[in-house]
Amino acid sequence: MRILLVGAGGVGDAIAKIAARRSFFESIVVSDYDIARAQRTVDWIADRHGSEVAGRFSVAEIDASDPDVVERVARESRATHVMNAVEPKFVPSIFAGALAAEADYLDMAMSLSEPHPEHPYEHTGVKLGDEQFAADEQWRLSSRLALVGMGVEPGLSDVFARYAVDHLFSEVDELGTRDGANLVVRDDDGNEIFAPSFSIWTTIEECLNPPVVWEKDRGWFTTAPFSEPEVFDFPEGIGPVECVNVEHEEVLLMPRFLDARRVTFKYGLGAEFIGILKTLHQLHLDKTAPVRVRSANGPVEVAPRDVVAASLPDPATIGPRMTGKTCAGLWVTGTGKDGAPREVYLYHVSDNEWTMAEYESQCVVWQTALNPVVALELLAAGTWSGTGVRGPESFDAEPFLELMARPMEEGGYGQAWHLQERSV
């Protein structure tokens, strides 16, 4: 397996660092528009693991917005797999470039949605991933696989869903992804500051777009942002967090492959974050279309959302200032295999202190990066295989969860996942 990794930001950097401890691949080319950033990742691997390990890594400059460039770099790398680790606005070009290069493809966020032009809070318009699933036949005819949504959420949450449907429930009422954390970021004086732990560009996109819900008797429909608030009690000391509906890929993926009466995604944002997002929307600072502004060097055009992203700390750099844990999981209700009502929460917790000590990666990006590496290893072994555009829930969950949880000294990743029974 020869991998072209597109993007050396927080998640891409963590993917390379996690993969450096594995032996399933022949080479990884770490590519980025800023080749110096890609080189920093490879230099870290050399410092931590030595020149022999780092010898399997190289760097390349890439323009992820141009499918022809993606194809060229993939061909020059002799890539068998293109791993997309950049913001979802680049999905179409990387997706197309990988297919043109006759390589398999993985991403952690799918092609973007477009709200319904007349009834955005009732009906879906273009849904997340629609553009990619429209190309399914093309990928099948090319005998290539596009594994989409293979991060943590979506990704691990979808693996949990497949496991629950296959092994825990005879009928599923709801597959509900629930994400929460108790993370705190502080400045040099110890004061808590606002610094999102994931790409603010992506966060604005998914939180301000109309959330999507799926119900078997209704199909996909939308609600208003931050709708249906509920307090969810997260494990391992995180505790109760108010969660709200957010647009997310799980709701668009799970119903394609799994049988459930309802599919939801709710995110624990907190009152401060929700207030900031609402203010950005009111000021039109969430817009992606460029606006003309005056500068010292004359008029320039810039997208307001890009300005917001550039003004906040890079999520990849805040790890040393951050404390706490993040929890990604799936809450499932329905009828158990024994015919009795059942309610469970399947989850994985990532502790920032540990991820910083082991990988110098903050826990949110590290937890996201872990899962595509596990998936790549299963693909390299032939344990997972297929063609076309597919989500994680279309594959057997047991090999993934076993490899993920198996101790590192026994060839696994040493990342335990948990099943918490909840009262019905």
Per-residue confidence (pLDDT) for residue 392, from 0 to 100: 98
Q: Are 346 and 159 in contact (CB under 8 A)?
A: no
Closest CA to 124 of 255, 242, 243, 288: 255
**The CATH fold of domain 156-365:** Dihydrodipicolinate Reductase; domain 2 (3.30.360)
**SS3 state at 359:** helix
Exposure b/e, 221-236, CB count within 10 A at least 16 = b: bbbebbeeeeebebee
**SS3 state at 6:** strand
Per-residue confidence (pLDDT) for residue 309, from 0 to 100: 85
Show me where the domains of the chain are located.
Answer: 2-150+368-413, 156-365
pLDDT digits (tens, 9 = 90+) for 341-394: 999 999 999 999 999 999 999 999 999 999 999 999 999 999 999 999 999 999
Q: Please name the residue ranges forming H helices in 331-424.
A: 352-359, 363-381, 397-405
Q: Are 121 and 136 in contact (CB under 8 A)?
A: no
Structure-token pair, residue 355: 């991820």
Which of the residues in the chain have pLDDT under 70?
197-198, 424
- In the chain, the N- to C-terminal Cα span, in Å, equals 46
Q: What are phi and psi of 20, to 5 degrees?
A: -60, -25
CATH architecture of 2-150+368-413: 3-Layer(aba) Sandwich (3.40)
